[in-house]
């Protein structure tokens, strides 16, 4: 894959955009797992190709499958609102994608073989965007990278190194926050705002 051979200087925002488009075009034709049969659209990404932070969710839901854009349903709108409240611009500070690009039926968790089949697209996205920080959004995405035995409440907010020493952290998935309305101290929403504020500080420190 040619886009894996760029050195750091060659990877301008324009080159990243074009390289991601190339991968997306391949992905749109993908029939590598059974999810290809039931999808309406592949859900490749949203946000900025040269963003400092990559946010990775688990899999597209119904709204995402219909639109082809990640995190646009009720949960996505809550995420966008919380990002804005913490000063993070979804369009310029983040590159957003999922571990797999097609919606699993009935919103079930992706199967291990589906994640394996789809991993080459995510790896290409990470290699092209080269984020300074990866944010794993929700338990399923986090377990894909950090291990199946972990509980989200234990790993949320911690720092990890994944993908050849890229710093990573874990936040609650916004669909979980939709079911937990409290904003009291130490509630999931309160903790998520704390995490997003720390991510905003990380972004600001890069400037
Ligand atoms: S989920 Fe990934 S591997 Fe499976 S068909 Fe969609 S793009 Fe291809």
Beta bridge partners of 135: 55, 169
Would you say residue 3 has pLDDT above 50? no
Q: 124 CB under 6 A from ligand 1?
A: no
Supply the mean pLDDT for the chain. Answer: 93
Domain count, the chain: 1
Mean pLDDT to the nearest integer, 19-48: 97
Distance 132 CA to ligand 1 centre (A): 26
Question: Atom 2 of ligand 1 has which residue's CA nearest to it?
Answer: 118
Q: Which range marks the domain in which residue 201 is found?
A: 2-206
Our answer on whether the CB atom of 32 is closer than 6 Å to any ligand 1 atom is yes
Q: What is the CATH number of the domain that holds 167?
A: 3.40.470.10
Q: Give the model's pLDDT for residue 65.
A: 97
Q: At 2, is the pLDDT very low, low, confident or very high (cuts 50, 70, 90)?
A: very low
Q: How many angstroms separate the alpha carbon of residue 118 from the centre of ligand 1?
A: 5
Phi-psi region of 107 (alpha: psi -120 to 50; beta: other; left: phi over 0): left
Q: Tell which one of 35, 97, 111 to mutate to probe ligand 1, the residue whose CB is within 8 A of the most ligand atoms.
A: 35
Q: Quick check: CB of 35 below 6 Å from ligand 1?
A: yes
- SS3 letters for the chain? CHHHCCCCCCCCHHHHHHHHHHHHHHHHCCCCCCHHHHCCCCCCCEECCCCCEEEEECCCCHHHHHHCCCCCCHHHHHHHHHHHHCCCCCCCCEEEEECCCCCCHHHCCCCHHHHHHHHHHHHHHHHHHCCCEEEEECHHHHHHHHCCCCCHHHHCCCEEEECCCEEEEEECCHHHHHCCCCCCCCCHHHHHHHHHHHHHHHHHHHC
DSSP β-bridge partners for residue 137: 171
Give the C-alpha separation, 27 to 120, whole Å.
10
Q: Quick one: average pLDDT of 7-14?
A: 82
Contact 129, 16 (CB under 8 A): yes
Please work out whether the CB of residue 191 comes within 6 Å of at least one atom of ligand 1: no
Of residues 48 and 147, more confidently modeled: 48
Mean pLDDT of 193-207: 96
Q: Is 117 in the pocket of ligand 1 (CB under 6 A)?
A: yes
**pLDDT at 158 > cutoff 80:** yes
Q: What does the pLDDT read at residue 186?
A: 95
Residues 152-163 have a mean pLDDT of 88
**Which ligand 1 atom is nearest residue 30's CA?**
8
| CB-based burial label for 177 (10 Å; 0-12, 13-18, 19+) | buried
Residue that wins the pLDDT comparison between 162 and 47: 47
Whether residue 163 is predicted with pLDDT greater than 90 in this model: the reply is: no
CA of 36 to the centre of ligand 1 (A): 6
State residue 88's pLDDT score: 98
């Amino acid at each position: 894959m040619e886009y894996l051979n760029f050195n750091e200087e060659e990877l301008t925002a324009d080159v990243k955009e074009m390289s991601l488009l190339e991968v997306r075009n391949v992905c749109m034709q993908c029939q590598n797992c059974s999810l290809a049969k039931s999808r309406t659209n592949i859900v490749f990404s949203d946000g900025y190709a040269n963003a400092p932070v990559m946010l990775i969710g688990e899999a597209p839901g119904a709204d995402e499958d219909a639109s082809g854009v990640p995190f646009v349903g009720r949960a996505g709108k809550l995420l966008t609102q919380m990002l804005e409240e913490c000063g993070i611009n979804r369009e310029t500070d983040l590159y957003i994608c999922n571990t797999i690009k097609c919606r699993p039926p009935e919103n079930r968790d992706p199967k291990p073989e589906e994640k394996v089949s789809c991993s080459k697209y995510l790896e290409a996205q990470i290699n092209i965007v080269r984020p300074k920080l990866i944010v794993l959004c929700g338990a399923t995405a986090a377990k894909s990278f950090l291990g199946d035995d972990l509980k989200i409440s234990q790993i949320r907010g911690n720092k990890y190194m994944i993908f050849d020493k890229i710093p990573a952290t874990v936040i609650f998935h916004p669909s979980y926050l939709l079911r937990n309305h409290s904003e009291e101290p130490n509630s999931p929403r309160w903790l998520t705002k704390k995490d997003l504020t720390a991510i905003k500080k990380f972004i600001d420190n890069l400037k």
